[in-house]
Structure 1
Amino acid sequence: MNDRTDVDTMPKLTGKISPDRIRLMRTPRPPEGLIEKLKSISDATSVVADVMDELGITGAIGASVLKPTLPNASIVGPALTVRNLMQREHVYETARLHVNRMAEFEAHNLALPGDVVVIDGVEGISNMGGISAQTGKRQGEAGAIVSGGVRDVGHSRRADYPMWATEITPVTGKWRIETVEINGDIQIAGIRVSPGDIVVADETGVCFIPAARAEEVAERALAKANFEIEKCLAIDAGTAVADLPSKE
């Protein structure tokens, strides 16, 4: 059921997707201070992946699968999800008739500052390009995660909009892709992602933290990160290997 509260404050829809395909008009917001806590952790995906293992939570994907387009980029934010499928018609017909059913711009339209657009996309085809990335940057999004192709990488870099994608391709999706759902459950590299789940991404990979476990994961991750800082300080101080801190 769509969230229709505060109708007067809701953005005007673009018409690229039927309103009944938008499951939530606003991405669920994380608890206060949670995003800042995770942002304070260096090499956050490695720390978070360890904590998720300890808690029996799946959700870590390496940068060899979801490759960052911006070096040294790191983001944390709630997931605004998009699901794409191939259009049924042949691309030559849709291109000739200019039939464009992509609607990731509707996700930008609905985005709140700090949101991360997460696209369950189509392989071998661009699910997000440079103008889309520039629009996401203007909307205050943290970045995007795309299972599928992206293009115009130079444009998105100039816009300082980080993306993690499984592929880079010049092949446009606008005559090939249909966006069938926004803010519903999706699958990214075998991981289920729901709107409002917390995305942590850096040059090592991407972690999707279920919203219901996010506070627990963040607390444990911060404690683990602080322990690792203590251990690194001991290494720099010349502490013998046998005497380094060994319990977290």
Structure 2
Amino acid sequence: MLKIFDDLSTPLVADACLRVDVPLRAAPAGIGALIPGHRIAGRALPVRHYGSVDVFLEAFGRARQGDVLVIDNGGRSDEACIGDLAVLEAEAAGVAALVVWGLHRDTPELVEVGLPVFSYGNHPLGPVRLDEREPEALATARFGPHLVSGEDLVLGDEDGVLFVPAERAEEVLTTAHAIRRTEREQARRIGAGETLRDQTSFDDYLARRSADPSYTFRQHLRRTGGAIEE
């Protein structure tokens, strides 16, 4: 999956989701890679954290090679829910990356381990609570306003993290590749002196919009074969 995602980006995938009517599900702004430049792509392995590492160890027993552990820690800013030992154990279980709706700790050790970790950032304090576990602890993970399950793929890069239904992934990624080709050609033409306004017949768009206020630029791009918004 990471090879397929290699020459794409989360913005391109997000645009592709819009084009093929797949609901957009992105991690909240601020979730980013501990090590700049890390990219992730794999099946979601969801888990909800309640204050103890035992739920992670249980999840690792269900892991398949290349899974991305998606941790629901409620976006908390008062504790770090993973550290070096949990990440080392994740790596031993075949997990390819971790995405945390919350914070991490043991930053120098995590950098040394090198397994991709995406979170809000670091914090020295671990959990001091132990909440009641929900029945869905290993079935789904909340991530901001979204619910993530094992039926989702996780894609992440320097722009953020997206969750895409696995059953629509081929369609979304194929569309993202097509958008990328269009945008690269548009960029080449801009560099050669042909403005984006000329390429997209922007004056024609303005005239059509004047005659029909409901006519949108996205409609125009689809009619002219351009790409910039989606």
TM-score (norm 2): 0.75
Count of aligned residue pairs for this structure pair: 197
CA RMSD of aligned residues (A): 2.3
Aligned residue among 48, 54, 62 for 2:13: 48
Q: CA deviation at 1:35?
A: 4.8
Alignment of 1:199 with 2:154, yes or no, is yes
Alignment of 1:247 with 2:202, yes or no, is no
Indicate if the aligned counterparts of 2:106 and 2:124 stay in contact, CA closer than 8 A. Answer: yes
Indicate if the aligned counterparts of 2:2 and 2:40 stay in contact, CA closer than 8 A. Answer: no
Distance 1:206 1:47 in 2: 12
Alignment of 1:155 with 2:109, yes or no, is yes
- Between the aligned residues of both structures, percent identity stands at 27
Distance 2:138 2:17 in 1: 24
1:98-131, Cα deviation, whole Å (9 max, x unpaired) = xx55321232343222110001115122221112
Q: Tell me which amino acid in the other structure corresponds to 2:180.
A: A
Quickly say closer, same or farther: Cα 1:226–1:140, change in 2 above 3 A: farther
Within 5 Å, which residues of 2 pair with 1:158-173? 158-173=112-127
Bigger Cα Rg: 2
SS in 1 for 2:36: coil
1:119-177, Cα deviation, whole Å (9 max, x unpaired) = 1115122221112112223333221111122111221111111111134211113x534
Aligned to 1:228: 183
Gaps of 5+ in 1: 1-33, 87-99
SS in 2 for 1:161: coil
Aligned to 2:58: 106
Indicate if the aligned counterparts of 2:34 and 2:121 stay in contact, CA closer than 8 A. Answer: no
Indicate if the aligned counterparts of 2:141 and 2:149 stay in contact, CA closer than 8 A. Answer: yes
Within 5 Å, which residues of 2 pair with 1:69-218? 69-86=34-51, 100=52, 102-122=54-74, 123=76, 124-173=78-127, 175-177=128-130, 180=134, 181-218=136-173
Within 5 Å, which residues of 2 pair with 1:8-19? none
Alignment of 1:60 with 2:26, yes or no, is yes
Indicate if the aligned counterparts of 1:58 and 1:191 stay in contact, CA closer than 8 A. Answer: no
Distance 1:101 1:68 in 2: 22
Quickly say closer, same or farther: Cα 1:101–1:112, change in 2 above 3 A: closer
Indicate if the aligned counterparts of 1:69 and 1:162 stay in contact, CA closer than 8 A. Answer: yes
Distance 1:212 1:239 in 2: 41
Gaps of 5+ in 2: 201-224
